[in-house]
């Protein structure tokens, strides 16, 4: 029995947290945003082949919504073209996970970490 | 829900079946359902007798006289009645109150209301152990101080304050009355109201295996403590708390208190051993910081902050296995971490990532081991998820 403040999708992704971890390699770009002191910190590792994401991992210090969204993002990203905005978009993710408006800042941290990882992956590809 | 280990007895306790049975006998036509004020007939007389017995049981448990017991709807109402009632009664002699930042909202909010009415309030900060020293209270007293309000057992960290020492300071001052919120005390500590020097003592039934919705304010007659009533209409409870006395509620409270007082020492020793087992298990998980001075805490309450995890996720991760409270209030209306833990000097993150384990009569060693296991699994998972090493 989880507290009622999370919808089923949030509970499912928070519990499983698939996609957690780190990636290593020449094709991996890493980006992070937020801070533990502020309560939310997120890191994404993206492995890119031919402009498409072949692997994605995350680390997150944050609330269940933050962890669930990060997990979903790494799942959605696989096989997609690399793009600075979050797979499915922040508004759609917020709706899917029923993220309360006061937590919007945490989703923006997820988006910032994603954007930083995409930029790092592109730099790796160009190098 | 039975698979979830309940370790939130400081929030509330299940009603003892003996108490529930006694209450039920006051509700229906074949029981003592009469109005206890209607003593002109047998129905009212029967209820009156039960209320009188309950008053004696409550008084005996806290070391007071039955006539000093004013039944209320709970400790919150008792706190409000004491603070607002005493401040207004003694208003002509002074308008200064002393309390602590770590008090329950049932004390802090009436104090804020008094500030709106022109009183000034000094909010003492406890030391890092959670203790308010008598010297702090003494130093805060002013010639115009009319009331000191300090809780006996803190509801979040379990620290026992030296209320007898504070009563001494109030006595030396001469004018300051002492109110003590003892909502967490019954069944955890022995109380001796008569010998304590306390003027007003607030107690609650549902923290001691009694029903919700009933409590009492003990008002010292020996010390001639006075109050201005805060509600009107009927003049029950010596005119200090109007309204029909709910026989079933006070009967439940009386019996619950009598049972709680019956095995205070034995139960205290049993829970102290379990609390020690819990703390040793949690400490071994790493990054566990105990809140409140162990040597000053009741064994029923253990509050621990955990490093390297976010508070809301910690609570969510353990909530399938154990029912505990948290220092995190992320999802609450305030969005603020525990003001009690912040008052002890914990930073915001550690205040949020704290769990209050409160043990009770049904708690056994298997529950403690289950709790340690659940917290260990949650910490391990969340720390891995954040790449945090502790």
Mean pLDDT value across residues B71-98: 98
CA distance B191 to B204: 14
Q: Are the beta carbons of B197 and B233 closer than 8 angstroms?
A: no
- Which pLDDT does position A1 carry in this prediction? 38
Q: Measured between alpha carbons, how far is A67 from A103 in angstroms, rounded to an integer?
A: 13
Per-residue pLDDT reduced to its tens digit, A21-44? 999 999 999 999 999 999 999 999
Whether pLDDT at B390 is above 90: no
**A68 or B388, greater pLDDT:** A68
**B178: its two tokens:** 């002492």
As a whole number, mean pLDDT of residues B84-110 equals 97
Q: How close is the nearest chain B Cα to the Cα of A80, in Å?
A: 24
B309 to chain A: closest CA residue: A61
pLDDT given at position B113: 98
Give backbone dihedrals phi and psi of A55, rounded to 5 degrees, phi first: -160, 150
Asked if B319's CB is within 8 angstroms of A3's CB, the reply is yes
Q: What pLDDT shows up at residue B337?
A: 73
- In this complex, is the C-beta atom of B332 within 8 Å of any C-beta atom belonging to chain A? no
Q: What is the ipTM of this complex?
A: 0.94
Active-site position among B111, B170, B297, B330: B330
Q: Are B378 and B314 in contact (CB under 8 A)?
A: yes
pLDDT, residue B329, reads 41
Taking an 8 Å cut-off on Cβ atoms, the answer to whether B352 and A39 are in contact is yes
Taking the C-alpha atoms of residue B57 and residue B68, their distance in angstroms, rounded to an integer, is 12
Q: Ramachandran region of residue A25, left (φ > 0), alpha (ψ -120 to 50) or beta?
A: left
Out of 3.20.20.10, 3.40.50.2300, 3.90.1010.10, 2.70.70.10, which CATH number does the structure's domain A8-126 have?
A: 3.90.1010.10
The mean pLDDT of B306-330, rounded to a whole number, is 86
Phi, psi of A118 (to 5 degrees): -60, -45
The gap from C-alpha B375 to its chain's centroid, in whole angstroms, comes to 26
Using a CB–CB cutoff of 8 Å, tell me whether B386 touches chain A: yes
pLDDT (0 to 100) of residue A4: 54
Which tens digit of pLDDT belongs to each residue from B185-210?
Answer: 999 999 999 999 999 999 999 999 99
Q: Rounded to whole angstroms, how far apart are CA atoms B26 and B320?
A: 37
- Own/partner long-range contacts of A34-38 (Cβ < 8 Å, ≥24 apart): A34/A61, A34/A62, A34/A109, A34/A112, A34/A113, A36/A61, A36/B349, A36/B386, A36/B388, A37/B349
Whether B170 has a pLDDT exceeding 90, the answer reads yes
Rounded to whole angstroms, how far apart are CA atoms B209 and B292? Answer: 25
**Is the pLDDT reported for residue B330 higher than 50?**
no
B330 given a catalytic annotation: yes
pLDDT score of B114 more than 70:
yes
B321 touches chain A (CB under 8 A): no
Contacts of A12 in chain B (CB under 8 A): none
Q: Give me the mean pLDDT over the B89-107 stretch.
A: 96
Confidence of residue B335 (pLDDT cuts 50, 70, 90): low
Q: Are strands B96-100 and B120-124 parallel, antiparallel or unpaired?
A: parallel
Contacts A60 to B, Cβ<8 Å: 385-386
Interval B246-256 mean pLDDT:
98
Pairing of strands B5-6, B322-323: parallel
Contact call for residues A31 and A116 (beta carbons, < 8 A)? yes
Mutate to test the interface with A, among B386, B388, B389, B390 (most CBs of A within 10 A): B386
| pLDDT score, position A5 | 81
Interface test with B, best of A40, A43, A64, A103 (most B CBs within 10 A): A64
Q: How confident is the model at residue A2 (pLDDT cuts 50, 70, 90)?
A: very low
**A60's tokens:** 């997150």
Give mean pLDDT, residues A96-109: 95
Do B137 and B151 touch, CB atoms closer than 8 A? Answer: no
The answer to whether the beta carbons of residues A64 and B312 sit under 8 Å apart is yes
Query: Using an 8 Å Cβ cutoff, are A3 and B319 in contact?
Result: yes
Residue B331 has pLDDT above 90, yes or no: no
Starting at the edge strand that comes first in sequence, how are the strands of the sheet with B96-100 ordered? B69-72, B215-219, B200-204, B177-181, B145-149, B96-100, B120-124
Instruction: Using an 8 Å CB-CB cutoff, list chain A residues near B312.
Output: 63-64
Nearest of A19, A44, A23, A14 to residue A109 by alpha carbon = A44
| Contact residues of A toward B, CB < 8 A | 1-3, 5-6, 14, 17, 20, 22, 36-37, 39-41, 43, 59-64, 67, 100, 102
pLDDT at site B259 = 97
Q: What pLDDT does B336 receive?
A: 65
What pLDDT does residue B138 have?
A: 98
Report which of B247, B312, B346, B25 is spatially closest to residue A39, judged by C-alpha positions: B312
Mean pLDDT of A88-103: 95
Lowest mean pLDDT among B112-116, B142-146, B187-191: B187-191
A-chain residues near B349 (CB < 8 A): 36-37, 39
Task: Please check the confidence at residue A14 and state whether its pLDDT lies above 60.
Answer: yes
Q: Is A39–B349 a contact, with Cβ atoms under 8 angstroms apart?
A: yes
Q: Determine the pLDDT at residue B332.
A: 40
Q: Which of B330, B349, B387 has the CB atom closest to A63's CB atom?
A: B330
- On whether the CB atoms of residues B231 and B248 are closer than 8 A, the answer is no
Residue B282 tokens read as 């949690």
What percentage of chain B exceeds 70 in pLDDT? 97
Q: Which of A1, A22, A63 sits opposite B310 (nearest CB)?
A: A63
- Three-state SS string over B267-316 comes to HHHHHHHHHHHHHHHHHCCCCEEEECCHHHECCCEEEEEECCCCHHHHHH
pLDDT at B38 over 50: yes
Query: How far does chain A reach from its first CA to its final CA, in angstroms?
Result: 49
Q: Which residues have a Cβ under 8 Å from the Cβ of B89 and sit 6 or more positions away? A: B226, B227, B228
Task: Say whether pLDDT at A80 is over 70.
Answer: yes
In this model, does residue B166 exceed pLDDT 90?
yes
């Amino acid at each position: 029995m989880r507290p009622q403040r999370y919808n089923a999708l949030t509970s499912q992704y928070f519990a499983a947290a698939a996609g957690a971890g780190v990636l290593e390699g020449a094709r991996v770009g890493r980006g992070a945003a937020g801070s533990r002191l502020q309560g939310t910190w997120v890191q994404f590792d993206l492995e890119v082949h031919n402009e498409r994401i072949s692997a994605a991992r995350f680390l997150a210090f944050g609330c269940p919504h933050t962890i669930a969204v990060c997990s979903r993002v790494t799942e959605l990203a696989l096989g997609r073209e690399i793009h600075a905005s979050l797979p499915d978009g922040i508004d759609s993710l917020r709706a899917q996970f029923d993220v309360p408006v006061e937590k919007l800042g945490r989703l923006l941290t997820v988006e910032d970490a994603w954007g930083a990882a995409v930029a790092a992956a592109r730099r790796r590809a160009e190098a | 829900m039975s698979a979830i280990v309940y370790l939130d007895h400081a929030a509330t306790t299940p009603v003892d079946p003996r108490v529930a049975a006694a209450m039920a006998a006051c509700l229906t036509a074949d029981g003592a359902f009469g109005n206890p004020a209607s003593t002109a007939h047998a129905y009212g007389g029967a209820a009156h007798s039960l209320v009188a017995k309950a008053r004696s049981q409550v008084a005996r448990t806290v070391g007071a006289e039955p006539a000093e017991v004013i039944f209320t709807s709970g400790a919150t109402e008792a706190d409000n009645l004491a603070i607002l009632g005493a401040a207004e009664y003694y208003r002509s002699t002074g308008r200064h109150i002393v309390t602590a930042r770590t008090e329950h909202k049932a004390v802090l909010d009436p104090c804020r209301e008094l500030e709106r009415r022109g009183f000034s309030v000094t909010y003492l900060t406890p030391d890092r152990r959670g203790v308010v020293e008598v010297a702090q209270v003494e130093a805060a007293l002013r010639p115009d101080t009319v009331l000191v309000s300090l809780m006996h057992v803190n509801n979040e960290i379990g620290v026992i304050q030296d209320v007898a020492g504070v009563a001494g300071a109030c006595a030396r001052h001469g004018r300051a009355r002492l109110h003590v919120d003892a909502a967490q005390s019954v069944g955890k500590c022995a109380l001796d109201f008569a010998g304590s020097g306390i003027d007003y003592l607030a107690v609650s039934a549902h923290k001691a295996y009694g029903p919700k919705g009933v409590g009492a304010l003990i008002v010292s007659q020996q010390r001639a403590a006075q109050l201005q009533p805060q509600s009107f209409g009927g003049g029950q409870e010596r005119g200090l708390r109007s309204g029909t006395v709910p026989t079933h509620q006070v009967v439940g409270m009386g019996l619950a208190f009598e049972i709680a007082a019956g095995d205070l020492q034995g139960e205290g020793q049993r829970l102290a051993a379990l609390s020690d087992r819990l703390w040793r298990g949690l400490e071994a998980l790493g990054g566990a910081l105990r809140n409140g001075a162990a040597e000053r805490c009741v064994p029923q309450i253990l509050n621990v902050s955990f490093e390297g995890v976010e508070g809301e996720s910690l609570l969510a991760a353990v909530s399938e296995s154990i029912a505990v409270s948290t220092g995190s209030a992320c999802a609450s209306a305030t969005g603020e971490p525990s003001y009690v833990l912040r008052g002890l000097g914990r930073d915001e993150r550690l205040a949020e990532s704290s769990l209050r384990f409160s043990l009770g009569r049904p708690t056994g060693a298997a529950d403690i081991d289950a709790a340690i296991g659940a917290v260990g699994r949650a910490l391990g998972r969340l720390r891995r998820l954040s790449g945090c090493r502790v």
